[in-house]
Amino acid sequence: VACLTNWGVLVLLGWGAVCRAAPDPTQRDSLIRLETSRQIGGTVTLTPAETKMDARLRWMKRREMSRPAFPPAMHFFKAKPLIEKSPIFALLQKMPKGGALHIHSSTLVSVDWLVSNVTYRPHCYICFTSDRSVRFVFSAGYPWLTWDCSYWYLLETLRAKMGDPAAFDNSLIQNLTMFTEEPDLAYPSQDVAWEKFEKKFVVASGLITHAPVLRDYLYQGLEELRRDNIMYLELRSGLARTYELDGSRHDKLWYLKTFQEATQQFVEDHPDFLGTRIIITVHRSLSVSRVKAAVMEAIQMQSDFPDVVAGFDLVGREDRGRNLWYFKDALLLPANLGLVLPYFFHAGETDEEGTDVDENILDALLLNTTRIGHGYALPHHPLAKELARAGNVAVELCPISNQVLRLVSDLRNHPAAVLMSEGHPLVISSDDPSLFGNAGLSYDFYQAFVGIGGLKANLGTLKELAANSIKYSSLPPHLKEAGLLHWREKWDTFISSNGNQSRTTKGFV
Ligand X SMILES: *[C@@H]1O[C@H](CO)[C@@H](O)[C@H](O)[C@H]1NC(C)=O
Catalytic positions, written as ranges: 349, 374
Instruction: For the chain, report the end-to-end CA distance as a whole number of angstroms.
Output: 49
Q: Answer with the entry of Zn ion, ligand X, none that 431 interacts with (C-beta below 5 to 8 A by kind).
A: Zn ion
Does residue 431 bind Zn ion (CB under 5 A)?
Answer: yes
Q: CB of residue 498 vs ligand X: minimum separation in angstroms? A: 8
Distance (Å, whole) CA 398 – CA 140: 40
Min dist CB 496 to ligand X, Å, is 6
User: Alpha helices of 410-457 — where are they, by DSSP H?
Assistant: 416-422, 433-436, 442-446
Name 195's Cβ contacts closer than 8 Å, sequence gap at least 6: none
- 11 pairs with which residues across the strands? 3
The site partner of 36 among Zn ion, ligand X, none (C-beta below 5 to 8 Å per kind) is none
Which H or E run includes 138?
Answer: strand 134-138
| Smallest gap from residue 401 Cβ to Zn ion (A) | 7
Binds 325: which of Zn ion, ligand X, none (CB < 5-8 Å by kind): none
> Please, which residue, 150 or 497, has the CB nearer to ligand X?
497
Residues making contact with ligand X (CB under 6 A): 117, 120-121, 128, 132-134, 168, 171-172, 174-175, 216, 220, 332, 335, 367-368, 496-497, 499-500
CB of 279 to Zn ion, least distance (A): 10
- Closer to Zn ion by Cβ: residue 111 or 279: 279
How many chain residues are in contact with Zn ion, going by CB under 5 A? 1
E strand or H helix at 235, and its extent? strand 232-237
Distance CA 368, CA 345 (A): 10
Closest to 101 (Cα-Cα) out of 425, 403, 391: 425
How many of the other CB atoms lie within 10 Å of CB of 176? 24
CA distance 143 to 157: 15
Q: Give the whole-angstrom CA distance, residue 111 versus residue 172.
A: 9
Q: Quick one: 168 or 201, whose CB is closer to ligand X?
A: 168
Nearer of residues 216 and 319 to ligand X, judged by Cβ: 216
Of residues 64 and 431, the one with the C-beta less far from Zn ion: 431
Which secondary-structure segment (H or E) carries 480?
helix 477-498
CA-based nearest residue to 108, from 265, 221, 1: 221
Residue 114, contacted partner among ligand X, Zn ion, none, CB below 5-8 A by kind: none
Smallest distance from Zn ion to CB 102, Å:
6
Distance of alpha carbon 242 from alpha carbon 25, whole angstroms: 66
Nearer to ligand X, 259 or 446 (CB): 259
Stretch that binds Zn ion, among 43-51, 136-144, 429-437, 451-459 (CB under 5 A): 429-437
Smallest separation (angstroms) from Zn ion to the CB of 491: 27
Stretch that binds Zn ion, among 45-53, 134-142, 202-210, 425-433 (CB under 5 A): 425-433
> What is the nearest approach in angstroms of ligand X to the Cβ of residue 51?
11
Continuous segment of H or E residues that includes residue 401: helix 399-404
Instruction: Say how far residue 205 (Cα) sits from the centre of its chain.
Output: 20
**Nearer Cβ to Zn ion, position 378 or 457?**
378
Q: Select from 8-16, 67-75, 325-333, 424-432 the region that touches Zn ion (CB under 5 A).
A: 424-432
Is the Cβ–Cβ distance between 139 and 245 less than 8 Å?
A: yes
DSSP-derived letter for residue 369 is B
Q: Which residue is nearest to ligand X (CB)?
A: 174
CA angle 312–317–319, rounded 5-degree value: 120
Contact partner at residue 409 from ligand X, Zn ion, none, CB < 5 to 8 Å by partner kind: none
Residue of this chain nearest to Zn ion (CB atom): 431
Query: Of these partners, ligand X, Zn ion, none, which one is at the site of residue 103 (CB under 5 to 8 Å by kind)?
Result: none
Footprint of Zn ion on this chain (CB under 5 A)? 431
